[in-house]
Amino acid sequence: MLYRSSIATSALAVTLLIAQFPANAADESKYPDLNGRWARVGGPNWVQPADLPQFHPVYDPRSYLPPPPGLLTPEYQAIYDANRAEQAGGGVGDVPSTFCIPQGMPMMMDLYDPMEIIVTPAITYILISHVNDSYRRIYTDGRDWPADVQPTFAGYSIGKWVDEDGAGRYNALEVETRYFRGPRAYDASGLPLARDNQSVIRERFHLDQADRNTIYDEITVLDHALTRPWSITRKAVRDPNPRPAWRTEECPADNTWVRIGKDAYYMSADGDLMPTKKDQAPPDLKYFKQPRK
């Protein structure tokens, strides 16, 4: 009798599971197809010259233009100007990712390396490997902002899928991200965000209506280093290879840059510390015994 009861219970569970499966499959069909390897189109910088193609978008200093006049507060304009002067003198400036600090938001969405997007009903994941393996969790389960969040470089993201044209399928993902850890920058120029890490970053992801292999990320940053919100649209295209090659980068394993105090130094191939600019002073050796002259 107990044996028959167990069979009946198991059969009922299987029936319920089968009954639920078509509904779940239908729900999944409402989401856009974001599978694949997405690579950036255009340069990664937040301010770009019109003739960018003749410059290297990362290493050529001419590809880094200053932000629009009046966009930064006087305090952060001074920080940015000092940083660019440091770079012009041969230094690396204040670019956190140079020293293997995760890029965080919004710099990670500059896509120095391609991204992968994994969609589930409750969470959308964005995976990127640059400097280190980086990821974002965008919660789409209807939650509100939690009372206690551990700040991270990528922040805490809450999103909402929207069906803007009423076609019965989602065509955009709207995201807001808060709760950051610093230091963070917009790009490799060291263009700074406020040190209070109170940024609010809003995004809208959507596929191109005419080309489903093109995706846009419309990014707007609200930050105390800015006098007004600042927006940019990132564009990426899908790799046609159904089995793309993914790279993994472990920044600490190959990094040759060393920061000591506020100064940056370079580690030579023979393991010795080298200056990064002309007439750079050596680091303070007060904790080491000095040879007698």
C-beta of residue 228 within 8 angstroms of C-beta of residue 221 = no
Quick one: what percent of the chain has pLDDT higher than 70?
85
Pairing assessment for the beta strands 156-162 and 132-139 based on DSSP bridges: parallel
How many CB atoms neighbour CB 92 within 10 A?
A: 20
- Identity of the highest mean pLDDT range in 5-9, 14-18, 61-65: 61-65
Q: What is the DSSP string of 187-228?
A: STT--BPPTT---EEEEEEEE-SS-TTEEEEEEEEE-TTBSS
DSSP state of 120: -
Domain tally, the chain: 1
The mean per-residue pLDDT over the stretch 83-110 comes to 86
The rounded mean pLDDT for the chain is 86
Structural domain includes residue 262:
no
Model pLDDT, residue 165 = 87
Structural domain includes residue 91:
yes
Structural domain includes residue 12:
no
- Angle ∠(190,264,85) on CA atoms, nearest 5: 45
The rounded distance, in Å, linking the Cα atoms of 119 and 143 is 17
Buried b (16+ CB within 10 A) or exposed e, 146-167: eeeeeeebbbbbbbebeeeeee
**Tokens found for residue 55:** 């410059």
Model pLDDT, residue 42 = 87
Model confidence band, residue 123 (pLDDT cutoffs 50, 70, 90): very high
The rounded distance, in Å, linking the Cα atoms of 204 and 173 is 6
Model pLDDT, residue 62 = 67
Q: Which residues contact 150 (CB under 8 A, 6 or more apart)?
A: 179
Structural domain includes residue 23:
no
Domain hosting residue 179, numbered range: 38-238
Three-class SS of residue 118? strand
Q: Which of 21-30, 90-99, 194-203, 221-230 has the lowest mean pLDDT?
A: 21-30
Model confidence band, residue 126 (pLDDT cutoffs 50, 70, 90): very high
Phi-psi category of residue 106: left, alpha or beta, with phi > 0 → left and psi -120 to 50 → alpha: alpha
Model pLDDT, residue 18 = 45
The residue among 58, 63, 61 whose CA lies nearest residue 47 is: 63
Structural domain includes residue 94:
yes
Model pLDDT, residue 278 = 83
Q: For the chain, how are helix, strand and coil distributed in percent, rounded to 5?
A: 20, 30, 50
185-220 confidence digits (pLDDT tens): 999 888 999 999 999 999 999 999 999 999 999 999
Structural domain includes residue 153:
yes
pLDDT surpasses 70 at 15:
no
pLDDT surpasses 50 at 37:
yes
- Identity of the highest mean pLDDT range in 135-139, 259-263, 264-268: 135-139
The residue among 140, 84, 87 whose CA lies nearest residue 117 is: 140
| Residue carrying the six token digits 């729900």 | 27
Structural domain includes residue 52:
yes
Structural domain includes residue 232:
yes
The mean per-residue pLDDT over the stretch 60-75 comes to 86
- pTM for the whole structure: 0.82
DSSP state of 280: P
145-160 confidence digits (pLDDT tens): 999 999 999 999 999 9
The rounded distance, in Å, linking the Cα atoms of 3 and 8 is 9
